[in-house]
Structure formats: structure tokens, C-alpha cells
Chains A and B, each alone.
Chain A
Amino acid sequence: MKTIFVLWIRQLLRYGRSKSRMFGSLAQPVLFLVSLGFGFSTVFEKAGQGNYIEFLAPGIIAMSIIFTAIFTGMDVIWDRQFGFLKETLVAPVSRFSIMFGRTLGGATVATAQGAIVFLISLLAGFRPVSLALVPFAVVIMIMIAVLFTALGTMIASKLTDMHGFQLIINFLVMPLFFPFRSNFPFGGIAGCFIIYSWNKPAFVRSRRFAGSSYRNEPLWIRS
């Protein structure tokens, strides 16, 4: 228990202390929200699809959680060679509790990051359908965060150097982000892309969790 606590609190302390990193990682979602959101909103409305910010915000929140989570997970590469993690590997504690504590810490940080983006999206004009759904959304945010921190940790524990890092970003992280149906309405696009996009669990969750009011969604999203 102590081990899990130590590794968890350490991640939180690190997050709280590096203000520059915190703001830096907020810049990207905010930029997407503002540039995509306000950029496409007129087109989106003209096409009869309603408010684009409403449509976009859940996707951006999920994106910021996924990015933060995967990168915190992948920090293991440094941490194992130059960081505190190395110290814990020679300590008389179980490997499981080390990884569990670290994943919990990373997931907490990612969820916090998602919550901040949620607050920012409120400023940008996002209105959840119902406040009663917000706690449910938080549960889903935590689940996404845990899943992707664990995924990042898993990948990092297999990578032995930094060459694979760019590969992961290009082939895993970006493809996870772009086909979110909550970022772009995939309309008259090839069928395979649609299947690809709805197969992303993160996408389905991101559409659901903030109870976005996008009206024209097909039935299978609700299933």
C-alpha cells in the first residue's frame, strides 16, 4: 500500500510543481478547441448540424486525457534509466505495486488535465445536455485515463530507446485522435473509415461522456 501511495503522490507532486508543463500541455487542446471550433462552426451550422463546439468539446477533452495519459505512461523510459523508478526496482517491494501506483498517479494527472479542459470548453461555449450526466462523464474520463496510462506504460516497458517514440506518436497517438467522430462528422466518406472510426472505444466514450447534444447521430452510437 505504501508503495502505491509513494508512486501516486509523487506523480501528483510533479504535476502540481511543473506549471510550465501543465500550461504547455493545455495549449494544444485549447488551440484545437478555438481554431477548429470557431473555424468550422459556421460551415457546420450551415450544413444544418447545429453547434459545432457542442459537438467538438467532448472529443477535445478525451484527446487531452489520452495524450497526457500516454505520455505520462511513456515517461517510464526515462524514469527507468535516470529517475526514481530505478530506485524502486531495487527496493523490497513488489513490481506490481510499483506499476500500479505509477499508473494510478498518471491517470489522476490525466483526469485532472481533462477536467481543466472541460472547464475551458465551458468558457468556449460548450453546454452539457444535463448536469446529472457530469459525474458519469467523470467516471468515463477516469476509465480512459487509466486505460491509456497503462497502455503507455506497457509500450514504454517494451521500448528500450527513444527511437520508437516518434513511431508511437505517429502510428498510435495521432490515429487515435483524428478519426474521432466527435471531432469531424464523418459523412460521405468511405465505409472502411467509418468502421475504423467507430471501432475506437475512446471515440464512443468521448461521444457519450459529456452527453453532447449532437442530434443526428446514428443509433449504434447509443448502443
Chain B
Amino acid sequence: MNSIEVHNLSKTFGDIEAVKDVSFDVKKGEIFAFLGPNGAGKSTTIKMLTTLLHPTSGTMRVDEKDPILHPEEVRRSFGIVFQDPSLDDELTAYENMNFHGLLYDVPKEIRQTRIDELLRFVELYDRKNSFVKEFSGGMKRRLEIARGLLHHPKIIFLDEPTLGLDPQTRNHMWSYLQELNITEGVTVFFTTHYMEEAERVAGRIAIIDHGSIVALGTARDLMEKTGTKTLEDAFLGLTGKKIRDDEAGKNDNIRMARRVWTARK
């Protein structure tokens, strides 16, 4: 049984081919890592799977439904943690959770107990009435994960969830996710730049470069294929050592402006 199926997926922006003829499957209950250098097409693929972008060609199935034809049903079936924060800083942890529950039509009684349960799970229960703006980066991430799980999604997408977190927080976060993967059978699809993280938690790993998948398999498969001892070496062997000149995108400009802006406030 597959949670995600992707066949010959392509996306072009003008004359740039961000994703080229990508095909892969993610099994139900699997932890799947999606690795690649900057600008390889990871985020674009996630955006297409999560109904935020339409592909130029190819087909997808997320929880056995087509994100283009049935966006609402697909949206109901997954939770997501974005690369950029998406919490409301001026609201409390509880309010952020509660609004999410309202948007996903989680019935009131279930919502209350589920919120408490998840906040305990990510160890934020005693801070539930604190404003999110008082939280550290790691706490925000934990809250986002809890929020993404509130509506019992079958799949959770994590786009560089551990970026900028210290090893303790990262370790903690993955132990929640692994526990959840075992107890609730949630499929985990994540991207990261930390190779040892992928090696440790992911069942299978896909490496994408210049918009195409260059290798797919377990960490061991990839190391055997390239004759290397670590996943990092395998990754470099497959994608080359050239540093990618990722052009400063619009989002980088907004990020920059936001830093200046929020510092001024």
C-alpha cells in the first residue's frame, strides 16, 4: 500500500525546469527522506504534493487521491511543517492549536483532549497559555509539529524541520516523530541537509539533483552503490562537490526584510 505515488512529475517555471520527470513511491507508515543540494527541486516537489502548486505534467497520488482533482480531501489527509514558521506570534500556543482544529473541523470534545494530549507529547503543556512570540526556535518547531498532527493526518510533510535547532532539540523531535510513526502509523516525508539525521531515521532515501532523482534506496544501498563509508560521502559522490549558486530568491529578500522589520519593532 502506498501513501504517496509520483509518476513522471515535472514542473517548469518559464524555461527553468525545477522538477524533471520524477517518479517515486512512499509506502504507508514509512519514514522517507528527500535529500538534495539547494535548488534541487525538493521544496517544489513538496509544494506540488501539498496542493500549493500545479505540476506542468505527471501524476500524483497522496493518500490514494489526486491533489489536483481533489485538493480538499488531500489537504485533510496530511499535516505539514514548513521551512518558514507559520505560527501566529501574537496568539498563545493553545489558540494556535485551537484555530487549526477549527479549520480542520475537528469536533470540539475531541479537539480539547487532542490538543492537551499533543501539547503534553511535545512537552509544551505547561506553556499552553504563553504567547508564541516568547518561545524559542525549538519550542516553535515542536508546537508546529503538534499542530500538524492535530487532525490525525495520515502523512506528515516536514520541510527542513530541524534547520537551526541544536542537537538536543533535534534528537528530541525525532524521538517524538518516530514514536508517532510506530504508534499511529503516520507516514513521514521529510527533507533535510543533515545527512546523519537521514541515515538514522529514514527507511529509504531519495537523492534529487537538478530536478531529477539520482538515487533511491536505504542508506546502506546508497553507500554500497557509491562505494563510500558514510551517507555524506555517498551524497557528495552522487551530486558532485560543486557548490550550488542558489540565486537569492524572493523569499530570501522577504526573510531579510522581516528580520530588519521585526528587530525594529
Binding site for B on A (CB under 8 A): 2-3, 5-6, 10, 13-14, 17-18, 77-78, 81-84, 86-93, 160-163
CA distance A124 to B85 in the complex (A): 44
B64 neighbours in A (Cβ, 8 Å): none
* A161 B250 Cβ-Cβ under 8 A: yes
* B80 A90 Cβ-Cβ under 8 A: yes
* A78 B258 Cβ-Cβ under 8 A: yes
Distance between B113 CB and nearest chain A CB, rounded to angstroms: 19
> 5 additional contacts, CB 8 Å, given A18-B90, A92-B76?
A77-B254, A81-B255, A83-B87, A87-B86, A161-B257
CA distance A13 to B94 in the complex (A): 14
* B250 A82 Cβ-Cβ under 8 A: no
* A82 B90 Cβ-Cβ under 8 A: no
Secondary structure class of chain B's binding surface, majority of residues: helix
Binding site for A on B (CB under 8 A): 50-52, 72-73, 75-76, 78, 80, 82, 84-88, 90-91, 95-96, 99-100, 102-105, 147, 250-251, 253-255, 257-258
A84 neighbours in B (Cβ, 8 Å): 86-88, 91, 96, 99
A-B contact pairs, 11 of them (CB 8 A): A13-B90, A13-B95, A77-B254, A81-B251, A83-B88, A84-B96, A86-B86, A87-B103, A92-B73, A93-B103, A161-B257
B96 neighbours in A (Cβ, 8 Å): 84
Distance between A11 CB and nearest chain B CB, rounded to angstroms: 10
* A89 B52 Cβ-Cβ under 8 A: yes
The 8 closest A-B pairs by CB, nearest first: A84-B88, A92-B75, A91-B103, A162-B257, A86-B86, A92-B72, A14-B90, A92-B76
Most A CB within 10 A of own CB, among B86, B100, B253, B257: B86
* A162 B104 Cβ-Cβ under 8 A: no
Most A CB within 10 A of own CB, among B90, B147, B253: B90
A92 neighbours in B (Cβ, 8 Å): 72-73, 75-76, 103-105
* A3 B103 Cβ-Cβ under 8 A: yes
A5 neighbours in B (Cβ, 8 Å): 102
B78 neighbours in A (Cβ, 8 Å): 90
Given contacts A13-B95, A91-B103, A92-B104, contact A82 B84 (CB under 8 A): yes
Distance between B62 CB and nearest chain A CB, rounded to angstroms: 12
Given contacts A6-B102, A77-B254, A92-B75, contact A82 B52 (CB under 8 A): no
* A2 B253 Cβ-Cβ under 8 A: no
* B87 A81 Cβ-Cβ under 8 A: no
CA distance A78 to B85 in the complex (A): 11
Partner among B52, B85, B100, B254 whose Cβ is within 8 Å of the Cβ of A161: B254
Q: Look across to chain B and name the residue whose beta carbon is closest to the beta carbon of A93.
A: B103
Given contacts A78-B258, A90-B80, contact A2 B103 (CB under 8 A): yes
Given contacts A14-B90, A91-B75, A92-B72, contact A82 B85 (CB under 8 A): yes
A10 neighbours in B (Cβ, 8 Å): 88, 91, 99
Distance between B151 CB and nearest chain A CB, rounded to angstroms: 9
A160 neighbours in B (Cβ, 8 Å): 250
Q: Look across to chain A and name the residue whose beta carbon is closest to the beta carbon of B256.
A: A162
Q: Look across to chain B and name the residue whose beta carbon is closest to the beta carbon of A91.
A: B103
Q: Look across to chain A and name the residue whose beta carbon is closest to the beta carbon of B92.
A: A13
B52 neighbours in A (Cβ, 8 Å): 89-90
* A17 B84 Cβ-Cβ under 8 A: no
CA distance A81 to B250 in the complex (A): 11
